[in-house]
Every structure is written in C-alpha cells, then in structure tokens.
Amino acid sequence: MKLSINKRIYMMGLIVLVFAILFLSYGIDMNHLDYALSKRIPKIVAIVLGGGCIAFTTVVFQTITNNQILTPSVLGLDSLYVLVQTVIAFLFGSTSTFIINKNYNFIINVLIMIAASVLLYKVLFEKGKNNIFFLLLVGMIFGTLFKSGSSLFKL
C-alpha cells in the first residue's frame, strides 16, 4: 500500500500531535496543572523548533550539493559547535560573560560557524572537487577531529 506524500505528512503530523498531547498530559497532578504545563509547553515548542531547523538545514545542504545523503552532521558541523562551546568554557571559564550572556554566546557561535562553513565551501566546492566520497571522507574526519578536540578540553 503506497501512500501519497500528503497522506504521509498528515499521518506524521497526527503522530506528532498525539505524542505532544501525551507528553503534556501524562503524570500531571491536576492540582499543579498550570505549573506543569508552564514547564512542558516550552519544551514542546523547543523540540518542534529544533526539529524544523534541522530539517531546513538538511534540505539546504542537500540542495546546494545536489546529494541526498549529505547533512550538516556528516560534515562535522555539530561537532564543531560542541568544540566551540568547550573552548570558550575552557579559555574563559564557565562563569564568563561569553557563556552566561546568551546573546554574546550566540553571536560568537554564529560567526565561527559561518566562517567554518564559508571555508569549507571555498575549499571543497569551488575547486571543482564535487566528488561525494571525498566530501564525506573530509566531513567524517573533521567531525572526529572536532569531537576529539572537545574531549581533550573537557579533561
């Protein structure tokens, strides 16, 4: 039985809605309903927003490279984010303004991630090296390098 794309999207939306309602209602004491919902609703919004952002970046990466298996995670950009956070905490301390102030932290991360993405684009895409195996290999190597680097700073 082959479902059309619209039916699949509606089914997935229905499944998400059912699980969101279960998350919001399971194990709540009715005496503390307003407190529980004030904690759970932002979590659901964050999950949906994060999932949408991941889906959007994946589609953008796949469209730019014309490849369906390429994601930001495969290129090691998620590991780079963890490394940046670890280095900031290591160099400036966990009570630093760069960690505590969300705006500074966000600006630093965005600038470093944009610089890394532009560098990756310049090196890998503009020189005519559109070999997917080379791109995947470089992404895996950088991801492992960034994970190892963040593990080193955590010691």
Per-residue pLDDT of the chain (155 residues; tens, 9 = 90+): 677 888 998 999 899 999 999 998 888 888 888 888 889 999 999 999 998 888 888 888 788 777 777 777 777 888 888 888 888 888 888 788 878 888 888 898 889 888 887 887 777 766 655 677 777 788 888 889 888 988 887 76
Residue written as token pair 């963890």: 82
Sign of the CA dihedral with 83 first, then 84, 90, and 94 last? negative
Give dist(CA 97, CA 104) in Å, integer: 8
Of the candidates 90, 77, 98, 99, which has an alpha carbon nearest to the alpha carbon of residue 146?
77
**CA-CA distance, 43 to 127, in Å (whole number)?**
43
What's this model's pTM, rounded to 2 decimal places?
A: 0.62
Residue 135 near residue 65, CB atoms below 8 Å? yes
pLDDT at residue number 1: 63
